[in-house]
Amino acid sequence: MRIAVLGAGIVGLACAAELLRAGHDVRVFDPAPASGATHAAAGMLSPAGEAWHGEENLLRLGVESAGLWPEYAAWLESASGVDVDHRRAGTLLAGRDHDDVQVVRRTLDLLAAHGIEYEELRQRDLREREPELSTRVCGGAYLPGDHSVNPRRVSAALLALLGDRVEHRNAAPSTTPSPLLAPGEDRPASVEGVRTEDGRLVRADAVLVATGHQLPPQVPQRRHVRPVRGEILRVRPPSGQAPTQTIRALVHGEPVYAVPRAGGEVVVGATQEEHAGDPMPTVGGVARLLDAARTLLPGLERAEILEVLARHRPGTPDNGPMLGPTGVHGLYLAAGHHRGGVLLAPVTARILRAHIESGSPDAANAFSPSRFDTSERMSRWTSLSTAN
Amino acid sequence: MAAVNAGTSPDRLTVNGAEIASRLWIGTGGLTNLQTIVDVVRTARPGFVTVSMRRTSDLGEGSLLDALAGVLEETGARLLPNTAGCLSAREAVLTANLAREALGTAWVKLEVIGDERTLMPDVVELLDAAETLVRQGFTVLPYTTDDPIVAQRLVDVGCAAVMPLGSPIGSGLGIRSPHAIEAVRAAVTVPVVLDAGVGTASDAAQAMELGCDAVLAATAITRADDPAVMAEAIRLGVRAGRLARSAGRIPRLTGARPSSPMSGRVSG
Ligand SMILES: Cc1cc2nc3c(=O)[nH]c(=O)nc-3n(C[C@H](O)[C@H](O)[C@H](O)COP(=O)(O)OP(=O)(O)OC[C@H]3O[C@@H](n4cnc5c(N)ncnc54)[C@H](O)[C@@H]3O)c2cc1C
């Protein structure tokens, strides 16, 4: 099949590489590949650490994808020659004070209910596992199944695999109205390809939209993806003072994580805020992150700040991604991965490949885009505020 | 106090001349999932849903405010912007004005906190901000300490209600000082809305039994394992407490009293 992919973030790239591997004729369009959320992501493959009540389907999808990662990383590295810094040391969950530890325990209860492995640790055991932790950390747990990769290296590897199939251009799905449309109905019925920003029509049998937090107007579900700002830093502590595994913690109620990278860098993240406009890092957000991080890991006190940045996560109403057919024939969606696009990339690629190859209009997965209403309406906000 | 009518006319709450459809108000702080708040509002049918204007600037399609707008329309609940996170009167006044401009409402839940650690109200700044906002035509509902004198001062400057805390924000510790809440109730004639500290349904019931006119719950609901079920529980708690208050409880005695009279029994 001829398949056009819009968006070269980790999601679009993983899908494109999977389809290429399956022998399809793939083209990818993105004016600035791998510069969106993927560029900011910490790269935690952390389904257990992200578990939350009411999001059990997402937890299951995350666990499935985490299970694919070891083989996926090995394949990527051998096919592209790029080391993706896949780390399997596990993750520590830590609570700074007693209240924080109570919240951690609540997560552990949820994991227990889903049969996910963890080991609860007392203060001393925590610090034995991670000597860089503050003496004041009160308790936590070890999550052996929560690993990490470097998402920038993953996208570099995927870009290397795709080579000149990636075109540095904006594009939008190009649709044709169905001949069977009733008068007055204007929902396009099928996709003929993509139209690039310079006006070219690139014909395709299927178009996959993976443009992150902003979906093109041709996608009926576009209003269900919203920007959720995240701020994040990269620092380099003095040699020997970087943690040796991912640490996710609550520090007096403030969530923070530290993810070690090859070469001694540490990623410190991340804030989360409902915010429109450009994703700029703020003084307040960065101050809170740094405060929490150096309370957790005193060795960061003299770390060099290498980078401070903010990007938009693609949020959806239920925090789960939208994977599969959109209702417009030939138009597929892989978007809304919110906090877990890196973790979910391999399973997303598999699911989308199955949908595109089968061509069936119904998405038999819990994350079908069809779970959201696609009726057209005015911004509800405008109508409400005038009615008040 | 007005009797709670068991049948005909519903027990409505009036704030600054406006009828508020429910005595349960909901805060969106602690929200982890957008769909959750929609389900919660649908279940709870609250009088107000508060939203932080400092943390939420997005009015676009798919945003929190957009999602809320839909369910508010559906349930008849009202949106109440708040100034959560503001540390001075100046910042709170600015935030309230931005909210008025963006949302077209002159109602504001006024919060001025002393620091980000305790999240306790800074009553000096609060009074100052309340006075300014009332003068600017706002309907001001201040989040305050459980101090009856401060409550009076807030009413003196024109606040339409007072919202004393039961215990610190997000603590779920319930009402730590029931006497103080009763004293606030006795000190003012405007509605008293218990704000902060509610952890579960019985806390909401207790607030109403103490004479509060409404209860605001946020993290107790948004962070519960099942937020929609907790919303329903707290709604019923509010209702139960309100009914108990109007029914008139028996006095607390030091010893047992027989529940069936021993004298005057028909015998023989
Ligand atoms: C601070 C932060 C930390 C994170 N940490 C983690 C983590 O530890 N683990 C994890 O799993 N996830 C994490 N995430 C989430 C993860 O980054 C996202 O879920 C993931 O990157 C989404 O990938 P995407 O490809 O959908 O979007 P993006 O990476 O945003 O890519 C979208 C791409 O689409 C392109 N595009 C947009 N419009 C068009 C168009 N019209 N035509 C062509 N191209 C277009 C953009 O240029 C962009 O390159 C984090 C996110 C943030 C912000």
Q: Evaluate whether residue A249 is within a structural domain.
A: yes
Select the residue of A54, A276, A318 nearest B60 (Cβ to Cβ). Answer: A276
- In terms of domains, do A234 and A140 share one? yes
Question: Which DSSP helix (H) or strand (E) runs through A73?
Answer: helix A56-80
Q: Evaluate whether residue A287 is within a structural domain.
A: yes
Strand partners, A307: A234
Q: Which of A276, A298, A313 marks a domain boundary? A: A313
Per CB-CB distance under 8 Å, the chain A contacts of B55 are 273-274
What would the two tokens of residue A103 be?
Answer: 């919240």
Q: Evaluate whether residue B182 is within a structural domain.
A: yes
Give, using CA atoms, the residue closest to atom 3 of ligand 1: A41
Please determine, for residue B56, whether its predicted confidence score (pLDDT) is greater than 80.
no
> In this structure, are residues A168 and A32 in contact, taking their beta carbons and an 8 Å threshold?
yes
Q: How many residues are there in chain A?
A: 388
The CATH number assigned to the domain holding A367 equals 3.50.50.60
SS3 B12: coil
Per-residue pLDDT tens over the stretch B102-145: 888 999 999 999 998 889 999 999 999 999 999 999 999 999 99
Nearest-angstrom CA–CA distance, A274 and A272: 7
Nearest-angstrom CA–CA distance, A235 and A268: 7
Q: Evaluate whether residue A8 is within a structural domain.
A: yes
From A259-273, A361-375, B214-228, the region with the lowest mean pLDDT: A361-375
Measured in angstroms, the CA of B43 and the nearest CA of chain A are apart by 16
- In terms of domains, do A209 and A240 share one? no
Q: Which of A313, A342, A377 marks a domain boundary? A: A313
pLDDT at A362: 64
Say what the ipTM of the complex is.
0.76
Range of the domain at A302: 91-144+226-313
Nearest-angstrom CA–CA distance, A378 and A382: 8
Q: Evaluate whether residue B235 is within a structural domain.
A: yes
Per-residue pLDDT tens over the stretch A328-382: 999 999 999 999 999 999 999 999 999 999 987 665 688 999 998 877 655 555 4
Q: Evaluate whether residue B143 is within a structural domain.
A: yes
Q: Evaluate whether residue B3 is within a structural domain.
A: no
pLDDT at A179: 63
Q: Which residues line ligand 1 (CB under 6 A)?
A: A 6-12, 29-38, 40-44, 170-172, 210-212, 214, 216, 230, 232, 269-270, 311, 313-314, 335, 337-343
Q: Residue A343: which residues within 8 A CB-CB, separation 6 or more? A: A44, A45, A46, A47, A50, A62, A65, A66, A69
- In terms of domains, do A300 and A172 share one? no
Per-residue pLDDT tens over the stretch B161-212: 999 999 999 899 999 999 999 999 999 999 999 999 999 999 999 999 999 9
CB contact under 8 A, B36 and A54: yes
From A237-246, A270-279, A285-294, A318-327, the region with the lowest mean pLDDT: A270-279
CB contact under 8 A, A318 and B225: no
Q: Evaluate whether residue A209 is within a structural domain.
A: yes
Taking the mean position of all CA atoms in its chain, how far away is CA B108? Answer: 13
Ligand 1 centroid – CA A39 distance (Å): 7
> In this structure, are residues B161 and B171 in contact, taking their beta carbons and an 8 Å threshold?
no
> In this structure, are residues A377 and A95 in contact, taking their beta carbons and an 8 Å threshold?
no
- In terms of domains, do A15 and A116 share one? no
Nearest atom in ligand 1 to the alpha carbon of residue A257 is 8
- In terms of domains, do A236 and A307 share one? yes
What would the two tokens of residue B13 be?
Answer: 């709450």
Q: Evaluate whether residue B134 is within a structural domain.
A: yes
Ligand 1 centroid – CA A37 distance (Å): 3
- In terms of domains, do A231 and A308 share one? yes
The total of structural domains in chain A comes to: 2
Mean pLDDT of chain B: 89
> In this structure, are residues A57 and A366 in contact, taking their beta carbons and an 8 Å threshold?
yes
Q: Evaluate whether residue A371 is within a structural domain.
A: yes
Mean pLDDT of chain A: 92
- In terms of domains, do A183 and A332 share one? yes
Residue in chain B nearest A277 by alpha carbon = B58
Nearest-angstrom CA–CA distance, A238 and A211: 38
Of the candidates B45, B117, B119, B42, which has an alpha carbon nearest to the alpha carbon of residue B82?
A: B119
Q: Evaluate whether residue A44 is within a structural domain.
A: no
- In the DSSP assignment, the letter for residue A222 is G
- In terms of domains, do A178 and A309 share one? no
SS3 A359: coil
The CATH number assigned to the domain holding A304 equals 3.30.9.10
Please determine, for residue B82, whether its predicted confidence score (pLDDT) is greater than 60.
yes
Percent pLDDT > 70 in chain A is 93
pTM above 0.80, yes or no: yes
Give mean pLDDT, residues A134-144.
95
Q: Evaluate whether residue B76 is within a structural domain.
A: yes
What would the two tokens of residue A223 be?
Answer: 């209003």
- In terms of domains, do A221 and A231 share one? no
- In terms of domains, do A266 and A130 share one? yes
The total of structural domains in chain B comes to: 1
Per-residue pLDDT tens over the stretch A231-258: 999 999 999 899 999 999 999 999 999 9
B241 annotated as belonging to a binding site for a ligand: no
Percent pLDDT > 90 in chain B is 69
The CATH number assigned to the domain holding B138 equals 3.20.20.70
Q: Evaluate whether residue A235 is within a structural domain.
A: yes
Pocket test residue of A339, A347, A348 for ligand 1, highest count of atoms within 8 A of CB? A339
Q: Residue A282: which residues within 8 A CB-CB, separation 6 or more? A: A231, A310
B218 annotated as belonging to a binding site for a ligand: yes
Q: Evaluate whether residue B68 is within a structural domain.
A: yes
Ligand 1 centroid – CA B251 distance (Å): 63
Give mean pLDDT, residues B57-74.
78
- In the DSSP assignment, the letter for residue B109 is E
Per-residue pLDDT tens over the stretch A1-38: 999 999 999 999 999 999 999 999 999 999 999 999 99
Q: Evaluate whether residue B263 is within a structural domain.
A: no
pLDDT at A277: 81
pLDDT at B261: 62
Q: Evaluate whether residue A52 is within a structural domain.
A: no
CB contact under 8 A, B63 and A226: yes
Q: Which of A264, A286, A313 marks a domain boundary? A: A313
Nearest-angstrom CA–CA distance, A290 and A284: 10
Per-residue pLDDT tens over the stretch A316-331: 999 999 999 999 999 9
Strand partners, B18: B15
- In terms of domains, do A244 and A369 share one? no
Nearest-angstrom CA–CA distance, A215 and A9: 13
Nearest-angstrom CA–CA distance, B111 and B103: 18
Range of the domain at B164: 20-246
pLDDT band of B57, cuts 50, 70, 90? low
- In terms of domains, do A248 and A344 share one? no
